[in-house]
């Protein structure tokens, strides 16, 4: 059973290097949100060990828990937090500005790991066509019932190609606090690139590794979060897949996150990004 639930990685998930340096060992822990109604029911204990790749400088966990175990029935619902609902309006305005929307109601936005559709509703309010992709059937049902089109699936290149065939390329692909959750990083990055094509943009939100270290956000280290990116390491990773960073803005989520904006190279790099990459 244990072997089916998690696997220990000996090489970096992003570059394949075996040069993984130990950072923090929190022992064996059950995955977060492993809630049980019967206190006598056994929980699988999974190593919670943070390492740092000496080659590509990406911090990551050694254990990969089966994503079906973590996400098929998810307990965190985006819309339950007032701070998140408030931020969804700010986020929408930032994305509309970044894309350069001129009021064209035919814009198409896809959100990866869209949860209950809280952020997608903000774009519906300004006339955009939206589609969510999320693997948690219980939350997808909530989103669809509330009027947000959502596909129950794990986003990858194959899913992106199916969406593109059915709906055409996306003007914007949003991936908020999901990229650090995904072991199959190549497929999700390729999927984002395929879906935005030559003239779309992508927005990737992530909990800043710099903030985690500076403010001791040790409670953010748990099995869902495989990766802990800095602005530099995430920009470099995206660049390997033809996603060129052009801007960044801050997010209040998780005590301090950042939103990296990317395109296929058609957007001009901002001074804000240049400054951020020097931090």
Give per-residue pLDDT as tens, 164-212: 999 999 999 999 999 999 988 999 999 999 999 999 999 999 999 998 9
User: Domain count of the chain?
Assistant: 2
The mean per-residue pLDDT over the stretch 141-166 comes to 97
Handedness of CA 71, 166, 189, 267 (dihedral sign): negative
* Cα 189 from Cα 226, distance rounded (Å): 15
The mean per-residue pLDDT over the stretch 128-149 comes to 96
The mean per-residue pLDDT over the stretch 215-243 comes to 94
Asked if pLDDT for residue 36 goes beyond 80, the answer is no
Closest CA to 260 of 247, 272, 271: 247
Q: What is the DSSP letter of 7?
A: E
Contacts with 3 (C-beta within 8 Å, 6 or more apart), sequence order: none
Q: Report strand pairing: 59-61 vs 227-228.
A: antiparallel
Task: Kindly state whether residues 125 and 207 are assigned to the same domain.
Answer: yes
pLDDT of residue 72: 62
Confidence grade of residue 1 (pLDDT, cut at 50, 70, 90): very low
Pair 8, 18: CB distance under 8 Å? no
Kindly report the CATH number assigned to the domain that includes residue 172.
3.40.50.150
Picking from 71, 104, 120, the residue at the C-terminal end of a domain is 71
On average, the pLDDT of the chain sits at: 92
pLDDT of residue 155: 97
Picking from 71, 95, 127, the residue at the C-terminal end of a domain is 71
Q: Which domain holds residue 24?
A: 2-71
pTM of the model: 0.92
Asked if pLDDT for residue 52 goes beyond 80, the answer is yes
Q: What tokens appear for 110 in the block?
A: 């896809």
Task: Kindly state whether residues 255 and 218 are assigned to the same domain.
Answer: yes
Picking from 71, 102, 123, the residue at the C-terminal end of a domain is 71
pLDDT of residue 25: 96
Task: Kindly state whether residues 125 and 199 are assigned to the same domain.
Answer: yes
Pair 106, 167: CB distance under 8 Å? no
């Amino acid at each position: 059973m244990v072997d089916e639930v998690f696997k220990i990685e000996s090489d970096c998930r992003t570059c394949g290097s075996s040069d993984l340096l130990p950072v923090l060992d929190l022992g064996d822990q059950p995955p977060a949100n492993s809630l049980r109604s019967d206190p006598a029911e056994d929980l699988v204990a999974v190593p919670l060990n943070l390492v740092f790749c000496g080659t590509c400088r990406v911090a990551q966990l050694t254990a990969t828990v089966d994503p079906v175990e973590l996400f098929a029935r998810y307990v965190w619902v985006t819309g339950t937090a007032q701070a998140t609902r408030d931020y969804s309006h700010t986020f929408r305005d930032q994305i509309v500005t970044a894309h350069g929307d001129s009021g064209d109601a035919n814009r198409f936005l896809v959100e990866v790991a869209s949860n209950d559709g809280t952020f997608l509703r903000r774009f519906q309010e300004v006339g955009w066509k939206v589609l969510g992709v999320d693997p948690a059937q219980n939350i997808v049902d909530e989103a669809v019932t509330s009027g947000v089109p959502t596909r129950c699936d794990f986003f990858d290149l194959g899913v992106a190609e199916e969406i593109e065939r059915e709906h055409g390329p996306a003007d914007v692909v949003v991936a908020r606090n999901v990229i650090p959750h995904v072991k199959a990083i190549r497929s999700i990055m390729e999927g984002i690139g395929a879906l935005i094509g030559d003239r779309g943009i992508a927005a990737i939100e992530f909990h800043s590794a710099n903030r985690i270290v500076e403010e001791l956000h040790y409670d953010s280290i748990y099995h869902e979060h495989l990766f802990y990116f800095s602005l530099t390491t995430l920009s470099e990773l995206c660049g390997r897949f033809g996603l060129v960073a052009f801007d960044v803005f801050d997010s209040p989520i998780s005590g301090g996150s950042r939103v990296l904006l990317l395109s296929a190279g058609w957007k001009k790099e901002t001074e804000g990004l240049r400054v951020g990459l020097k931090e």
